Amino acid sequence: MSYEEIPHTADIKIRARARSLPDLFSDLCAALMEVMYGNTRSCTLTKEITIAGNDPETVLLDFLSEVLFISEVEGIVFCDAAIQIDSQKLHAVLRGELFDPARHAGGTEVKGFSYSGLSISHDANGYMAEIVFDV
């Protein structure tokens, strides 16, 4: 897992690096959960989602938006995401646990994600993405 928070004026900007696109998306999901809930999580529940889009950036935003939605509506804190990406379609098996205020409170509320500043790049070392979490 390789992600870091980088300076941003008002929101939270994350830079992630990974060897593959699925690993990159998984790392960004982990970053989202850490921002929202800290890093104390276990994996007792499973949830599957499928996302389709026209480009990797759109798929990433739709994926993270769905993770955020499920987390908030169903009260699930995810610990990991096994992701497969096929052309412009993503399938994820998310594992997590029910929200427990004693273990998961104190993070930062994320409202959504910004297209502004969003980038995904690829070179010989793998993939890199930068994304802004709207808080």
Q: What is the pLDDT of residues 50-106, one digit of tens each?
A: 999 999 999 999 999 999 999 999 999 999 999 999 878 999 999 999 999 998 988
At 131 the pLDDT is: 97
82 located within any domain:
yes
Question: How, if at all, do strands 45-52 and 89-98 pair?
Answer: antiparallel
19: CATH: 3.55.10.10
Q: Are 26 and 82 in contact (CB under 8 A)?
A: yes
Give the chain's radius of gyration (CA, Å).
Answer: 14
Query: Strands (DSSP E) along 65-125, which ranges?
Result: 76-86, 89-98, 112-123
Which residue range forms the structural domain that includes residue 75?
3-111
Q: Which residues contact 106 (CB under 8 A, 6 or more apart)?
A: 38
Looking at the chain, the whole-number percentage of residues with pLDDT higher than 90 is 80
For the cut 90, the answer to whether the pLDDT of residue 42 exceeds it is no
Q: Are 76 and 70 in contact (CB under 8 A)?
A: yes
Other Cβ atoms within 10 Å of 133 Cβ, number: 24
Q: What confidence tens digit (pLDDT) does each residue in 52-66 have?
A: 999 999 999 999 999
Tokens, residue 91: 């399938």
What is the average pLDDT across 4-29?
A: 93
39 located within any domain:
yes
134 located within any domain:
no
125 located within any domain:
no
